[in-house]
Amino acid sequence: MINFNVPPYVDTAIDYIKECIANQKICGDGKYTKECNRWLEEKTGTRKALLTTSCTHATELAALLADIQPGDEVIMPAYTFVSTADAFVLRGAIPVFVDIRPDTMNIDEKKIEHAITDKTKAIVPVHYAGVACEMDTIMDIAKRHNLIVIEDAAQGIMSTYKGKALGTIGNFGALSFHETKNYSMGEGGALLIRDDKDVEDAEIIREKGTNRSKFYRGQIDKYTWVNQGSSYLPSDMNAAYLYAQLEVADKINNERLDNWNRYYAGLKELKDAGKIDLPVIPEGCVHNAHMFYIKAANIEERSALIAFLKEKGIMCVFHYIPLHTAPAGIKYGRFDGEDEYTTRESERLARLPMYYGLKPEQVDMICECVKEFYK
């Protein structure tokens, strides 16, 4: 059987975790958390990276930093994971869902401005499949309307838009290191902070509203409660698990890209025959092979394809019931404009197995099975 996902693991992780235990340093902000933060800062060029307990929490932290208040409106794609909306709904804000582009499944930048009202506070672009949104347009809209941009870059580490790392273009970027992502710590994430002015507040909120980070750096002689906050620090053991992968990040990324390209080459004849659609990578975008998806003609064909592949021992999945059609989306949010593509495209999409360690022969076998289905 070929699983849909296998969590990434690199052998050195076990030594690093044992070291944490031997040194009795298992709480947050230890050696490996610092190594991960430093690695992220160097790799992405962000002003500051802070490891968090999840991407959901990184987004919550960004919502607090952006001072999102009850009644504020936050623009985001209708096609995304629930966390994108949850982080703002928790602050009493209203998610305003916008239609997606059929080529990348990202928010349609041309439909954003229509959704802006007096109450709009932020735009949350989601870089689906690690392929960038049209960020120049989005940043221009944000600037003209004085809006904060929080990038949901959960799937976007190692990807770039016109040379800039995803998550570093807006005011804040949230990364995920969940076990389904390209690099993992089980549960975890990171907040990328672009501007100096937000760094100290972020450290305080992440550390239960205290100035403990400053204390550890020796900048103050005692630490105390200075603001509202929560606890968004992961255990250093989780960071150790992640750091082992970051040390070989390029190897992991290249192997994923090889498999992605192999899928694409193997299935291109079906696309050329008009039977399926394949992912589109716009010019200026470098992606990270976070996922490989194909699009069937419609929901019935997709269900039949998934069942057929399951019979062959290949696990493939679909995801994201569009948020504006979900019970909580109806309760807390609203859709702006017309749902031209969100529902239609979401019903066609099927994700094929993609993980570090997937073998080229397995990719070939999966392509053969998909072709057999379409015969």
Ligand X SMILES: *Cc1c(COP(=O)(O)O)cnc(C)c1O
User: Does 176 sit near ligand X (CB under 6 A)?
Assistant: yes
CB of 53 to ligand X, least distance (A): 8
Q: Of the listed pieces 2-10, 106-114, 150-158, 198-206, which binds ligand X according to CB under 6 A?
A: 150-158
What are 176's strand-pairing partners?
Answer: 189
Single out the residue of 121, 178, 287, 348 in contact with ligand X (rule: CB under 6 A).
178
**Token digits for 27?**
């709480």
Question: Regarding beta strands 48-52 and 189-193, do their DSSP bridges make them parallel or antiparallel, or are they unpaired?
Answer: antiparallel
Residue span 28-57 as binding mask against ligand X, x where in contact by CB under 6 A, dash where not? --------------------------xxx-
Q: Say whether 210 sits in a helix, a strand or coil.
A: strand
Cα–Cα distance for residue pair 82/228, rounded to 1 Å: 25
**Spatial CA neighbour of 50 closest among 256, 253, 230:** 230
**Spatial CA neighbour of 333 closest among 117, 39, 95:** 95
Name which of 81 and 172 has its Cβ closer to ligand X.
Answer: 81
Name which of 205 and 369 has its Cβ closer to ligand X.
Answer: 205
CB of 9 to ligand X, least distance (A): 17
Name which of 80 and 253 has its Cβ closer to ligand X.
Answer: 80
Name which of 152 and 236 has its Cβ closer to ligand X.
Answer: 152
User: Does 253 sit near ligand X (CB under 6 A)?
Assistant: no
Single out the residue of 83, 120, 182, 259 in contact with ligand X (rule: CB under 6 A).
83
How far does CA 207 lie from the centroid of its chain? 23
Cα–Cα distance for residue pair 335/325, rounded to 1 Å: 9
User: Does 166 sit near ligand X (CB under 6 A)?
Assistant: no
User: Does 84 sit near ligand X (CB under 6 A)?
Assistant: yes
Cα–Cα distance for residue pair 260/238, rounded to 1 Å: 28
Helix residue ranges, H only, 66-154: 82-89, 135-145
Write the DSSP symbol of residue 66: T
Cα–Cα distance for residue pair 335/83, rounded to 1 Å: 17
CB of 51 to ligand X, least distance (A): 11
Name which of 320 and 373 has its Cβ closer to ligand X.
Answer: 320
Name which of 341 and 373 has its Cβ closer to ligand X.
Answer: 341
What are 317's strand-pairing partners?
Answer: 351
User: Does 322 sit near ligand X (CB under 6 A)?
Assistant: no
Query: What is the binding site for ligand X (CB under 6 A)?
Result: 54-56, 80-81, 83-84, 126, 152, 154-155, 176, 178, 189
